[in-house]
Amino acid sequence: MTYRVCFVCTGNICRSPMAEAVFRERLRAAGLDDRVHADSAGTDGWHEGEGADPRTVAVLEEHGYDGAHTARLFQPSWFDRLDLVVALDAGHLGVLRRLAPTERDAAKVRLLRSYDPAADGDDPDVPDPYYGDTGDFEQCLAMVEAATSGLLDAVRADVEGRVA
Active-site positions?
A: 9, 15, 128
CA distances from 80 to 71, 76, 85, 103, 163 (A): 21, 8, 11, 12, 20
Calculate the dihedral angle through the C-alpha atoms of 106, 107, 111, 112, rounding to the nearest 10 degrees. -120
φ, ψ (nearest 5 deg) of residue 10: -75, -65
> How far is residue 46 CA from its own chain's centroid?
18
Torsion of CA 139, 50, 75, 143, to 10 degrees: -10
DSSP 73: B
